[in-house]
């Protein structure tokens, strides 16, 4: 039997590969980059002599299929989860946290919301009332910001509570995301005890994902890195294989495309606009993320991460211990929904955010900045705007033998590693079912 070709070595392609290889299906995984992981990859930064992630990634404990994948790859110890939810927040003066309590079920957040010091008591009550509405009733597919306003949430409640959660989990502001997708985040994460416990990767991401290579090779499969697929070969409505940029043809009667939505159209036999199945893909927009790596000569923060309130800085992660042994203190500022930052020169980004960081972390005032690196991800995640869920394609396509996996496919999850992994497992399961 011909092997199954999987194009793309991000989380979706890796999940498809693991699913199939574990079931004895011979596969060839093709990745154009030198490292696996896709948008969740890392690279060696020679100036500081360490491997760093292109983008700071966080999981929540509700990301169960990613945890399954890490276990299959023997990498479960590469992520460290909180024992219970603790999201420290600061405006530089005050500190507080969204934290879980011993109370059961959805009540676990009650004590922390009742004492949330960035809001007045009246506003806290109002937050809890709208939280209850979100829990009990499926909202319409309207902008979440509009839904919040119609449930009595004012500017302050949105800017200090709802929006930071939306931006961190959906990479878009409450006004831009569908209320339904926001509800997914709250229902699967925050409203469930332990659902939103934060997990941080403690090894560089590509080192974790590279463990798929021995897994596949031990099962008679192959991984071709630094190999770009030029097109998917389709004849009479059936997949026949792929052609690489080197001009090599690889025969296959089943292909899983696990490339991002931006890269898919170039591989298809006809322009997406001409095919009703693929046409809808052009209606999905992407949002940027900007990460600023800063190396200080001393410790500037005590927590593993902190969220900024009333600050230009959204989130700061301490990645010193995670990625290397060094006396330098390495922190990452992660700016999601970064439309206002993405086109600025790197020097302006560092200046603008460094002063915000010093305000949030007073210890940084006396520290010397040794190095900085700005990483811009223009097409970081798709925006789960109202109407977008209806545009997301299924893993089976009208082309016989062609399957889609990728975070943009119809998983019901936002643009995340978990969405990608679920899509990868689903595409592979669909393929096995149809063989």
Residue with smaller CB distance to ligand FAD, 252 or 420: 420
- List the alpha helices (DSSP H) in 137-259: 144-150, 155-157, 163-170, 179-185, 205-209, 212-217
User: How many other C-beta atoms can be found within 10 angstroms of the C-beta atom of residue 40?
Assistant: 22
Rounded least distance, CB 339 to ligand FAD, Å: 14
189 is an interface residue for ligand FAD by CB under 6 A: no
68 is an interface residue for ligand FAD by CB under 6 A: no
Residue with smaller CB distance to ligand FAD, 158 or 420: 420
Interior angle at CA 171, CA 317 and CA 111, nearest 5 = 65
Interior angle at CA 413, CA 393 and CA 290, nearest 5 = 100
Exactly one of 5, 28, 38, 314 binds ligand FAD (CB under 6 A); which one? 38
Rounded least distance, CB 365 to ligand FAD, Å: 28
Q: CB within 8 A of 37, min separation 6: which ones?
A: 9, 10, 11, 205, 206, 208, 209
Number of H helices and number of E strands within the chain?
14, 20
Residue with smaller CB distance to ligand FAD, 149 or 280: 280
Rounded least distance, CB 60 to ligand FAD, Å: 8
Radius of gyration of the chain (CA): 22
User: Minimal CA–CA distance to 212: which of 69, 34, 381?
Assistant: 69
Site for ligand FAD in 318-377 (CB under 6 A): 377
User: How many other C-beta atoms can be found within 10 angstroms of the C-beta atom of residue 386?
Assistant: 18
258 is an interface residue for ligand FAD by CB under 6 A: yes
314 is an interface residue for ligand FAD by CB under 6 A: no
Residue with smaller CB distance to ligand FAD, 89 or 375: 375
Rounded least distance, CB 162 to ligand FAD, Å: 19
Query: What distance lies between CA 76 and its chain's CA centroid?
Result: 18
Rounded least distance, CB 124 to ligand FAD, Å: 28
33 is an interface residue for ligand FAD by CB under 6 A: yes
Helices 417-434 and 64-72 pack at an angle, to 10 degrees, of: 70
> x/- string (CB under 6 A) for ligand FAD, residues 192-231?
------------------------------------xx--
Half-sphere exposure (Cβ direction) of 414: Cα atoms closer than 13 Å: 33
Rounded least distance, CB 126 to ligand FAD, Å: 29
Residue with smaller CB distance to ligand FAD, 53 or 157: 53
In whole angstroms, give the CA distance from residue 399 to residue 401: 6
| Count of residues touching ligand FAD (by CB under 6 A) | 36
Rounded least distance, CB 424 to ligand FAD, Å: 7
82 is an interface residue for ligand FAD by CB under 6 A: no
Using the contact rule CB under 6 A, the part of the chain among 102-110, 189-197, 259-267, 307-315 near ligand FAD is: 259-267
Residue 10: beta bridge partners? none
284 is an interface residue for ligand FAD by CB under 6 A: no
Confirm if 51 and 247 have CB atoms less than 8 A apart. no
30 is an interface residue for ligand FAD by CB under 6 A: yes
Residue with smaller CB distance to ligand FAD, 119 or 333: 333
Confirm if 11 and 38 have CB atoms less than 8 A apart. yes
The two three-digit tokens of residue 382, written as one number? 């798709």
Residue with smaller CB distance to ligand FAD, 381 or 395: 381
Rounded least distance, CB 152 to ligand FAD, Å: 30
27 is an interface residue for ligand FAD by CB under 6 A: no
From the number of C-beta atoms within 10 Å of its C-beta (0-12, 13-18, 19+), residue 68 rates as middle
Exactly one of 289, 322, 338, 364 binds ligand FAD (CB under 6 A); which one? 289
From the number of C-beta atoms within 10 Å of its C-beta (0-12, 13-18, 19+), residue 84 rates as middle
Using the contact rule CB under 6 A, the part of the chain among 157-165, 257-265, 276-284, 390-398 near ligand FAD is: 257-265
Residue 291: beta bridge partners? 334, 375
260 is an interface residue for ligand FAD by CB under 6 A: yes
Lookup result for tokens 């689903």: 426
Residues that bind ligand FAD (CB under 6 A): 7-13, 30-33, 38-40, 55, 57-59, 228-229, 258-260, 263, 289, 291, 377, 380-381, 406-407, 415-418, 420
């Amino acid at each position: 039997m011909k092997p199954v070709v999987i194009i793309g070595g991000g989380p979706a392609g890796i999940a498809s590969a693991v699913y199939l290889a574990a079931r004895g299906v011979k596969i060839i995984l093709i990745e154009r980059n030198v490292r696996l992981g896709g948008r969740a990859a890392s690279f060696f930064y020679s100036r500081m002599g360490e491997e760093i992630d292109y983008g700071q990634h966080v999981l929540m404990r509700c990301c169960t299929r990613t945890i399954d994948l890490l276990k299959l790859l023997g990498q479960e110890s590469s992520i460290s989860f909180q024992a219970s939810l603790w999201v420290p927040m600061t405006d530089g003066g005050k500190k507080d946290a969204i934290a879980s309590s011993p109370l059961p079920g959805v009540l676990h957040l009650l004590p922390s919301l009742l004492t949330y010091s960035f809001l007045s008591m009246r506003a806290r009550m109002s937050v809890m009332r709208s939280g209850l509405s979100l829990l009990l009733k499926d909202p319409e597919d309207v902008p979440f910001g509009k839904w919040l306003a119609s449930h009595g949430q004012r500017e302050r409640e949105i800017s200090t509570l709802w929006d930071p959660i939306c931006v961190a989990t959906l990479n878009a502001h409450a006004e831009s995301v569908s209320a339904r997708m926001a509800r997914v985040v709250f229902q699967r994460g925050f409203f469930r005890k332990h659902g939103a416990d934060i997990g941080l990767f403690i090894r560089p991401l590509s080192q974790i994902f590279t463990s798929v290579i021995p897994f596949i090779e031990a099962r008679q499969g192959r991984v071709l890195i630094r190999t770009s697929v030029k097109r998917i070969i389709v004849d009479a409505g059936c997949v026949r294989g792929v052609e690489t940029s080197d001009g090599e043809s690889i025969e296959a009667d089943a292909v899983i495309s696990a490339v991002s939505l931006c890269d898919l159209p170039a591989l298809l036999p006809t322009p997406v606009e001409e095919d009703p199945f693929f046409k809808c893909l052009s209606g999905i927009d992407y949002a940027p993320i900007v990460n600023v790596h800063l190396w200080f000569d001393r410790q500037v923060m005590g927590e593993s991460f902190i969220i900024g309130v009333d600050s230009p800085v959204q989130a700061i992660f301490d990645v010193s211990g995670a990625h290397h042994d060094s006396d330098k203190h390495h922190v990452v500022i992660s700016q999601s929904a970064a439309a206002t930052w993405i086109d600025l020169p790197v020097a302006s980004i560092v200046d603008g955010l460094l002063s915000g960081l010093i305000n949030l972390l007073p210890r940084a005032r006396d520290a010397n900045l040794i190095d900085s690196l700005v990483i811009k991800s223009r097409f970081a995640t798709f925006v789960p705007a109202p109407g977008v869920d209806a545009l997301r394609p299924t893993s089976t396509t009208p082309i016989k033998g062609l399957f889609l996996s990728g975070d943009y496919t119809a998983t019901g999850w936002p643009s995340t590693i978990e969405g990608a992994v679920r899509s990868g497992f689903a595409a592979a399961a669909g393929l096995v079912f149809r063989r």
